[in-house]
Amino acid sequence: MHRSLVLSCIVPALCMALLGMSAARADTQKLLHSERSLYREVLVYEGNNQRCMCFTRHCRVGRQSCMDPRTPDQIVMNYPRLMLGSLYLNPRPRTILLVGLGGGTLPRALQQILPEAHIDVVEIDPAVVRVAAKYFDFTANERVRVIESDGRVFVKRAGREGRHYDLIMLDAFDHEYIPEHLLTQEFLREVKTLLAPGGVVAANTFSSSRLYDHESTTYASVFGQYFNLKRDNRVILYKEGDLPSHDQLAANGQGVAASLKALGVPVEQLLPLFSTRPDWDVHARVLTDQYSPANLLNAK
Number of Cβ within a 10 Å radius of residue 178:
24
Measure the CA–CA gap between 127 and 178, rounded to whole angstroms: 18
Measure the CA–CA gap between 154 and 300, rounded to whole angstroms: 34
Measure the CA–CA gap between 230 and 52, rounded to whole angstroms: 22
What does the DSSP assignment read for 108-147? Answer: HHHHHH-TT-EEEEEES-HHHHHHHHHHS-----SSEEEE
- Starting from the edge strand earliest in sequence, which strands make up the sheet with 41-47, in order? 30-36, 41-47, 50-54, 65-67
Instruction: State the catalytic residue, choosing from 120, 125, 166, 171.
Output: 171
Q: What are phi and psi of 183, to 5 degrees?
A: -115, -10
Active site residue 166: no
Greatest Cα pair distance in the chain: 52
What does the DSSP assignment read for 192-239? Answer: HHTEEEEEEEEEEEESSSTTHHHHHHHHHHHH-S-EEEEESEEEEEEE
* Rg of the Cα atoms in the chain: 18
Q: Residue 283, SS3?
A: coil
Q: Which residues are catalytic?
A: 171
